[in-house]
Homo-oligomer: A and B are copies of this chain.
Amino acid sequence: MKILVTGSNGFIGSHLCARLRKEHEVFYLARPHNAMQLPGANGATFFFENNNIGALKRFMRENQIEGIIHLASCYIQAHQEEEIPDLIQSNVYFGTAVLEAAAKADVKWFINAGTIWQNFNAPDGSDAYCPVNLYAATKQAFMNIAKFYSGTTDMRICTLKLCDTYGPNDTRRKIYSLFEEIARTGETLQMSAGEQKLDMLHVDDVVEGFIHLAEMMHNSEDLRDEYVLSSGQQLTLRQIAANYEKEHNVHLNIQWGARPYRVREVMKPYKGNVLPDWSPKR
């Protein structure tokens, strides 16, 4: 397949593209400020700037792009007011521009990366929307824009909602990076009471999920509007730390309860509809 990927230089994107290019022709869609090294592409790269939707459409047509995996995202856990323009621009406008070009270039399918944080405290399995933060709200806003394109064109659109992810080369300051750091330095880490449950999925499993969904879309299988990639396990932060200590034979100096929970801390992650015929291997 000829697949165009946005966000290819991110954590998920770089792992996904490295794997995708083994079997497919991978094209990149990047914004000029991301014109850093973009490894893993065996097709051309398009730089989106100046709202050049027309040029993007021609790029898709000329390269006969069949499908798009849209990972590009501006992630902000707790936003500041000056970050709002970038949140809307990156998470709502950019995707809309890609959909508009894709619809006109007869792209067959579009996979959008969402987050389980769109469903804060929703009863298990329900689809109730309730955003953890403004980031999650912009993700929902984009899904509702996407619904216009799925309703008015032949393009198939599906959102894959991601839980917490981890793996090699993760530059986001996530929990395992912190554990690694304090295990090495012996530093003390102040944390919340640690009773919040997390659904942690290895990036290799995330990558297989995207590839599996891309194949389902390519084969025109009957699909829902959205699926969740979940590890199937919800462990408390304390359990995750204890497992880490056991596995790596280290001691983590964690002061549990030294900090309050975050505002709108997710105590129990959303489950939703897990992607069918896929399961985590790690």
Interface, chain A (partner B; CB < 8 A):
51, 53-54, 57, 81-82, 84-85, 88-89, 92-93, 96-97, 100-101, 104, 120, 129-131, 133-134, 136-138, 140-142, 144-145, 147-148, 151-152, 263-264
A134 contacts B141, C-beta separation under 8 Å: no
Query: Of all chain B residues, which has the CB nearest A79?
Result: B100
Which chain B residue has the least Cβ–Cβ distance from A51?
A: B85
Partner of A142, one of B54, B100, B131, B141: B141
In the bound complex, what is the Cα–Cα distance between A37 and B98 (angstroms)?
38
> A151's contact among B93, B131, B141, by CB below 8 Å, is which?
B131
Interchain CB contact under 8 A, A144 and B152: no
6 closest residue pairs by CB, A with B: A141-B141, A137-B148, A140-B144, A88-B93, A53-B81, A141-B144
User: Does A51 contact B84, Cβ atoms closer than 8 Å?
Assistant: yes
Chain B residues within 8 Å of A263, by CB: 152
Residues of B within 8 A of A148 (CB): 131, 133-134, 136-137
A145 near B151 (CB under 8 angstroms)? no
A225 to chain B, nearest CB (A): 11
Bound together, the chains give a CA A145 to CA B57 distance in angstroms of 29
20 A-B residue contacts at CB 8 Å? Answer: A53-B81, A53-B82, A57-B81, A81-B100, A84-B93, A84-B97, A85-B93, A88-B92, A89-B93, A92-B141, A120-B151, A131-B147, A134-B148, A136-B148, A137-B148, A138-B145, A140-B144, A141-B142, A141-B144, A141-B145
Which of B54, B120, B134, B152 is within 8 Å of A145, CB to CB?
B134
Q: In the complex, A82 Cα to B50 Cα: how many Å?
A: 10
When distances are taken between beta carbons in the complex, the residues of chain B under 8 Å from A51 are 82, 84-85
Tell me the bound Cα distance from A54 to B83 in angstroms: 12
- Further 6 A-B residue pairs, CB within 8 A, beyond A84-B97, A88-B96: A84-B96, A134-B145, A137-B144, A137-B145, A140-B141, A140-B147
Hey, which chain B residues are within 8 Å of A82, CB to CB? 51, 53
Which of A136, A140, A145, A151 has the most chain B CB within a 10 Å cutoff?
A: A145
B144 touches A144 (CB 8 A): yes
Q: Using known A-B contacts A92-B92, A93-B84, A97-B84, determine if residue A144 contacts B129 with beta carbons closer than 8 Å.
A: yes
